[in-house]
Amino acid sequence: MSKDLSIYVHIPFCVRKCNYCDFLSFYAKKDVVETYFAALKKEIMLAAKELNGNSAGKDGQAMSGNPLVKSIFFGGGTPSFVEAEKICDTLKAIKTEFDLDPQCEISIEVNPASAIYDKLVSFKKAGFNRLSIGAQSLDDAELKVLGRAHTGAMFLETFENARKAGFDNINVDVMSALPGQSLESYIRTLEKVLSLKPEHISAYSLILEEGTPFYDMELDLPDEDTDRAMYHETKEILARSGYHRYEISNYALGEQDDPKYECFHNKVYWKRGNYLGLGIGAASMVDNVRWSNVRDIHLYVDAQMSKVDREVLSPEAQMEEFMFLGLRLVEGVSIEEFKRQFGRDIWEIYGEVIDKYAGLGLLEYRRSEAGRESVENTYLRLTDKGLDVSNTVMAEFIL
Ligand code: SF4
């Protein structure tokens, strides 16, 4: 494999299930949690054995050495639901088994209902340097409908505690288009969050997923115009407040193109870097081979063989992913990188669809440095208008 690797660790436990949640998450008793962490440790060791010493250079030539881990992300579920010691031990095992870049971004998702101060201090001491807090809303009535286990006040306390514990890189998740939510209450949430000056904000709108309680409920959802207004207000308010949008739903403090507070880990997914997923249901992709772990916790704990659905991606599948993941990013996709990875010009494969959407003002070319006009410097990206209808445009990049 090429040199860089990112690691995702799935902690599937939650105090209870939220009404809109279709993540692989559930409540579990202490003994189940114990066995899960033991299995996780085993998986870390097996994965390290498989990937270490097995690296290849950029052109596929053999290279000695281990992959360099550039980011680690503990997500869920709710990693803060379990004892901090278990999380910290797991991170320690990863640090022992893998080579970490000294600048490695190490994130953990926390829930205001369980992220007490002492836990946050332990996370910081263990080496976590980025925190992601699931606020969703600061309106207690909206949180209650969502089935969240926290209140707005609990979120504010968690944020304050996180700063006190020393976290200087914090993401806050907020959601729009919630049942009973007005444009005014959404803006109130956004402004309260902004008054705390987090380094990063993820702003998603609610999607009703099949199989969740919300899917079958009569909900008082905002109409389409309000939904659109929330989307546009997000962009405008965050831009005014010094955040740049670098992905459809993600905003980082600082000027456009300043990557300091952009989430390195998520960018690895969008740029199709190598990532290893640990824990139930976690997906991996290393050198264009993709697999995922079993979703059943008992199978995961009992069986040594946790990998399923191993798939070697065809060149077409790789090109499709390159386009529809890369176009999520505001910087777009590099035309030169496409040629480097696939040995073909982007126009040869996608000329027609590029012309169509460029003609409609939804796609544009962007030079990465002013004044230099060359293919190496050119990116293809969605325009602002294109980002608003991104799903329609991206669907046409399927071969
Ligand atoms: S806290 Fe997150 S992962 Fe857990 S049930 Fe709620 S939405 Fe799902």
> pTM of this prediction?
0.93
Cα–Cα distances (Å) from 307 to 83, 112, 169, 284, in that order, read 27, 33, 33, 10
Over residues 119-159, the pLDDT tens digits come to: 999 999 999 999 999 999 999 999 999 999 999 999 999 99
Instruction: Please choose, from the candidates 316, 291, 321, 319, the residue with its C-alpha nearest in 3D space to the C-alpha of residue 305.
Output: 291
Q: In what order do the strands lie in the sheet with 363-367?
A: 333-334, 378-382, 363-367
Spell out the domain ranges in the chain.
Answer: 4-268, 333-399
- E-strand ranges in the chain read 4-11, 68-76, 99-110, 130-136, 170-176, 200-205, 243-247, 250-253, 275-278, 283-286, 289-293, 307-312, 333-334, 363-367, 378-382
CA–centroid distance for 271 within its chain: 12
Give the closest residue (by CA) to ligand 1 atom 2.
Answer: 77
In this structure, what token pair is assigned to residue 98? 């893998």
The CB of 77 under 6 Å from ligand 1? The reply is: yes
Out of 13, 22, 24, 78, give the residue to mutate to test ligand 1, the one with the largest number of ligand atoms within 8 Å of its CB.
Answer: 78
Residue 397 pLDDT: 93
Minimum CA distance residue for ligand 1 atom 5:
17
pLDDT of residue 306: 62
Give the distance (Å) from ligand 1 centre to CA of residue 371: 47
Ligand 1 and 111: CB distance under 6 A:
yes
The DSSP secondary structure of 16-64, one letter per residue, reads S--TT--SS-B---HHHHHHHHHHHHHHHHHHHHHHTT--B-TTS-B--
Q: Domain 4-268 adopts which CATH fold? A: TIM Barrel (3.20.20)
pLDDT score, position 46: 92
Residue ID of nearest Cα to ligand 1 atom 7: 21
Of all protein residues, the one whose alpha carbon is nearest to atom 6 of ligand 1 is 18
358 Cβ neighbours under 8 A, 6+ residues apart:
364, 365
Q: State the DSSP string of 129-164.
A: -EEEEEEE-S-HHHHHHHT-S--HHHHHHHHHHHHH
Residue 56: predicted pLDDT: 47
Q: How far is the CA of 178 from the centre of ligand 1 (A)?
A: 15
Give, in order, the Cα–Cα distances in Å from 242 to each of 37, 264, 326: 40, 19, 24
User: What is the CB neighbour count within 10 angstroms for residue 373?
Assistant: 10
By most ligand atoms within 8 Å of CB, the mutation choice from 10, 19, 25, 133 for ligand 1 is: 25
CA of 24 to the centre of ligand 1 (A): 9
Q: What is the pLDDT of residue 59?
A: 45
Between the CA of 117 and the centroid of ligand 1 the distance, in Å, is: 20
To test ligand 1's pocket by mutation, which of 19, 21, 208 has the most ligand atoms within 8 angstroms of CB? 21
**Under 8 Å between Cβ of 198 and 172:** yes
Q: What is the DSSP letter of 201?
A: E
Shortest-distance Cα residue to atom 8 of ligand 1 = 21
Confidence (pLDDT) at 58: 44
Residues of the chain with pLDDT under 50: 56-63, 370-372
Atom of ligand 1 nearest to the CA of 22: 8
What does the pLDDT look like over 8-43, one tens digit per residue? 999 999 999 999 999 999 999 999 999 999 999 999
Alpha-carbon distance of 113 to 29, in angstroms, equals 18
Answer whether 179 contacts ligand 1 (Cβ < 6 A): no
CA of 25 from ligand 1 middle (Å) equals 7
What pLDDT score was predicted for residue 62?
44
Structure tokens at 390: 């991104």
Instruction: Give the per-residue pLDDT at 65.
Output: 78
Integer Cα distance of 266 and 73 in angstroms: 9
One-letter amino acid at 193 equals: V
Two tokens, residue 85: 């010691």
β-pairing verdict for 200-205 and 170-176: parallel
Q: What is the pLDDT of residue 199?
A: 98
